[in-house]
């Protein structure tokens, strides 16, 4: 490698350590989410406050004091970073109450673990029995907690829990009894790490990986975006050598290397320029395809591509973005993808865009869902969204997979991923996709 080139790598490291990539905080999307759920007035908020050792949530004897979910990031030691969520009661009443219940159910479906809080003085209600059923049917790990234990415990409640084989703990927010045991219990029951990561099995020690990051009007000022930061960090964790370049510098960077890099990862939007510069014997993929494998379902998204060539005039497409931002004149979700899709299909399509938490209930109205990379939401949330689409047989793809397809860059960009490429080859042999 040339001296200048080594210097540029060194600068990348220096900037990294100066904190330019802001790795000091684990983002919420990478934390395990634990929801505290139950009826109104069972002491969920008091328990959350005790659990996080902070008066975060307003507590009162008035049922339904918590209306919107309240989230708090904390370190649950020795487990690691988590988000604790206090929720509205699942027995709320009235029109507003129904909306709050729906919100709570949504929070539960996107959480990794639930703490179901019960009142020590009462028997199990119908709402609580339904909640237990929901948790079991959705395979969500949980623990039942009998709160207000200082007042004594209704023996019928214990009987009901025992007869349903429900494991429980007793706590008192007044005395603090049982809180430590609850923390320990949760850590024992939390689902183990899936072992999946953005860079899983892609690079080894001293492999060179080039990341192509366009600095255009869509790039945030003064920082890299989360998937780029994570990809750099994971590559460094694997002892790979990372070189970050703009798309205009890629050819120069490749020429300066004394040997070929192991992998080039590009922003999806630059794939057409990048694919021309990367030798065919160098693996190439996109940040968004890495996200599809990490949080989504890369093979499922490849299957979703079969719908593109079947689209007809008037078909409705949903573009789902997982965070809200001020749309740019050349916004990827609102402008570029709709234009690329219409130009590829030559059809008059109706395209709706949802953003942030608003993943619509009327998914059945759409022929295809195009989801963003989902970098700002948890893997569980992305998985829940995919499951909802699959449950009603609506094909779903993500930005990276779709953009590569529309620009003829698949199979090149999915080549590093064995299952995805074999799915693609199968679909191709059945003429369900075009190259
Ligand atoms: S729209 Fe999606 S991929 Fe883009 S920043 Fe937001 S969560 Fe990440």
Q: What is the pLDDT of residue 100?
A: 83
Residue where a domain terminates, one of 189, 209, 243? 189
Which of 373, 379, 403 for mutating ligand 1's site (highest number of atoms within 8 Å of CB)?
373
Instruction: Check pLDDT > 60 for residue 16.
Output: no
Instruction: Check pLDDT > 50 for residue 9.
Output: no
φ and ψ at 339, to 5 degrees?
-65, -45
156 & 211 share domain: no
Q: What is the pLDDT of residue 110?
A: 93
Give the pLDDT confidence of 203-259 residue by residue, as tens digits.
999 999 999 999 877 778 888 999 999 999 999 999 999 999 999 999 999 999 999
202 & 343 share domain: yes
Which residues constitute the domain of residue 267? 194-435
Q: What is the pLDDT of residue 60?
A: 67
CA distance 41 to 117: 10
255 & 109 share domain: no
Give the pLDDT confidence of 265-299 residue by residue, as tens digits.
999 999 999 999 999 999 999 999 999 999 999 99
Lowest mean pLDDT among 41-50, 66-75, 294-303: 66-75
257 & 166 share domain: no
138 & 85 share domain: yes
Q: What is the pLDDT of residue 1?
A: 45
Cα of 362 from ligand 1 centre, angstroms: 22
Residue where a domain terminates, one of 144, 173, 189? 189
- Mapping DSSP onto H, E and C, the string for 235-290 reads HHHCCCEEEEECHHHHHHHHHHCCCCCCEEEECHHHHHHHHHHCCCCCEEEEHHHH
Cα of 209 from ligand 1 centre, angstroms: 23
Cα of 336 from ligand 1 centre, angstroms: 15
Percent residues over pLDDT 70 in the chain: 92
Which of 226, 301, 322, 326 for mutating ligand 1's site (highest number of atoms within 8 Å of CB)?
322
Residues with CB under 6 A from ligand 1: 321-323, 372-376
Domain of residue 50, CATH code? 3.40.50.300
Which of 219, 296, 321 for mutating ligand 1's site (highest number of atoms within 8 Å of CB)?
321
User: What are the residues facing 35 on neighbouring strands?
Assistant: 85, 114
82 & 119 share domain: yes
Residue where a domain terminates, one of 166, 189, 212? 189
Residue 10 lies in a domain: no
Q: What is the pLDDT of residue 175?
A: 94
CA distance 423 to 428: 9
275 & 333 share domain: yes
Q: How many domains does the chain have?
A: 2
Cα of 323 from ligand 1 centre, angstroms: 6
142 & 120 share domain: yes
160 & 240 share domain: no
229 & 370 share domain: yes
Q: Which of 197, 231, 226, 230 has the alpha carbon at shortest distance from 211?
A: 231
Count Cα atoms within 13 angstroms, Cβ side, for 329.
Answer: 2
Instruction: Check pLDDT > 50 for residue 330.
Output: yes
Residue 275 lies in a domain: yes
Instruction: Check pLDDT > 70 for residue 138.
Output: yes
Instruction: Check pLDDT > 90 for residue 55.
Output: no
Domain of residue 284, CATH code? 3.40.50.11420
Q: Which residues contact 339 (CB under 8 A, 6 or more apart)?
A: none
Question: Is 289 in contact with 414 (CB distance < 8 Å)?
Answer: yes
Residue 8 lies in a domain: no
Residue 337 lies in a domain: yes
Instruction: Check pLDDT > 60 for residue 24.
Output: no
Ligand 1: atom nearest CA of 355 is 1
Q: What is the pLDDT of residue 54?
A: 79
Q: Which of 211, 199, 198 has the alpha carbon at shortest distance from 265?
A: 211
Instruction: Check pLDDT > 80 for residue 64.
Output: no
């Amino acid at each position: 490698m040339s001296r200048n080139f080594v210097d540029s790598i060194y600068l990348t490291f220096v900037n990294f350590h100066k904190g330019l990539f802001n790795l000091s905080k684990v983002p919420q999307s990478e934390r395990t989410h634990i929801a505290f759920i139950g009826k109104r007035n069972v002491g969920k908020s008091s328990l959350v406050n005790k659990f996080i050792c902070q008066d975060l949530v307003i507590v009162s004897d008035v049922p339904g004091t918590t209306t919107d979910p309240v989230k708090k990031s904390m370190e649950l030691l020795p487990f690691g970073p988590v988000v604790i969520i206090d929720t509205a009661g699942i027995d709320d009443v009235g029109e507003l109450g129904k909306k709050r219940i729906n919100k709570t159910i949504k929070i539960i479906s996107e959480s990794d673990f639930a703490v179901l809080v019960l009142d020590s003085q009462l028997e199990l209600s119908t709402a609580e029995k339904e909640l237990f059923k929901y948790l079991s049917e959705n395979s969500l790990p949980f623990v039942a907690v009998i709160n207000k234990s200082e007042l004594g415990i209704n023996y019928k409640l214990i009987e009901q829990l025992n007869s349903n084989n429900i494991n429980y703990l007793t706590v008192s927010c007044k005395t603090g009894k049982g809180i430590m045991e609850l923390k320990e219990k949760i850590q024992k029951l939390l689902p183990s790490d899936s072992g999946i990561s953005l860079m899983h099995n892609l690079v080894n020690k001293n492999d060179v990986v080039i990341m192509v990051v366009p600095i255009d009007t869509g790039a945030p000022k003064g920082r890299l975006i989360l998937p780029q930061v994570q990809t750099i960090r994971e590559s460094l964790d694997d002892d790979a050598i990372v070189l970050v370049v703009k798309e205009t510098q890629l050819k120069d960077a490749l020429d300066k290397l004394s040997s070929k890099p192991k992998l080039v990862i590009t922003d999806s939007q630059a794939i057409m320029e990048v694919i021309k510069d990367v030798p065919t014997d160098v693996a190439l993929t996109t940040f968004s395809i890495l996200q599809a494998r990490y949080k989504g379902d890369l093979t499922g998204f490849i299957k979703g591509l079969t719908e593109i060539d079947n689209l007809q005039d008037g078909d409705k497409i949903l573009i789902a973005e997982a965070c809200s931002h001020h749309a740019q004149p050349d916004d990827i979700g609102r402008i570029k993808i709709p234009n690329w899709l219409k130009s590829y299909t030559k059809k008059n399509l109706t395209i709706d865009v949802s953003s942030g938490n608003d993943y619509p209930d009327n998914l059945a109205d759409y022929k295809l869902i195009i989801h963003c990379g989902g970098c700002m939401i948890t893997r569980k949330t992305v998985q829940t969204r995919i499951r909802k689409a699959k449950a009603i047989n609506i094909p779903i793809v993500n930005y990276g997979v779709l953009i590569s397809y529309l620009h003829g860059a698949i199979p090149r960009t999915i080549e590093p991923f064995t299952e995805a490429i074999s799915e693609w080859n199968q679909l191709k042999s059945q003429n369900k996709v075009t190259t």
